[in-house]
Amino acid sequence: MTQAERHQPKLLEHFPNPGPERDYEIRFDCPEFTCVCPKTGQPDFAAIRIRYVPDRKCVELKSFKLYLWSFRAVGAFHEKVTNTICDDLVALLRPRFLEVAGHFNVRGGILTTIVCRHGAEQPARRPGGQGGRAVRRGAREPRP
């Protein structure tokens, strides 16, 4: 396998999380992802959607774009590509939560979506560090 046939995780860079005391979600939509079908050699097109709750590090976007471009000559199944992106981001960032969704275009009449997760989704924290939704004291709970 030549360098052009492998993705390039070393392209990924990070910067310090400017708000590590708070759980907040970062989302990326990458609608122009391409890789190659390992069976036919034909291009596969997908939208890759990332959401994560950072801990100490955030991914730098230009490096992430270049990293995604490195898959253009990679022959891999949809499941492998999506899991690889998840694994590489977890190794780089060690996030509190990460989800990678690959929405692959129709091939052979089948639309494929692959979703990989790392960590548990955490409810938004209220001021004071307590999880869950904020309810005013004395306020009634809404009826179902």
Known catalytic membership, residue 30: no
Helix (H, G, I), strand (E, B) or coil at 9: helix
CB atoms within 10 A of CB 8: 17
Tell how far CA 69 is from the center of its chain.
15
Catalytic, out of 30, 37, 55, 87? 37
Catalytic residue among 44, 58, 86, 116: 44
* CB proximity list for 101: less than 8 A, separation 6 or greater: 48, 49, 50, 82, 113, 114, 115, 116
Active site residue 37: yes
Closest by alpha carbon to 125, among 53, 50, 59, 28? Answer: 53
Catalytic residue numbers read 37, 44
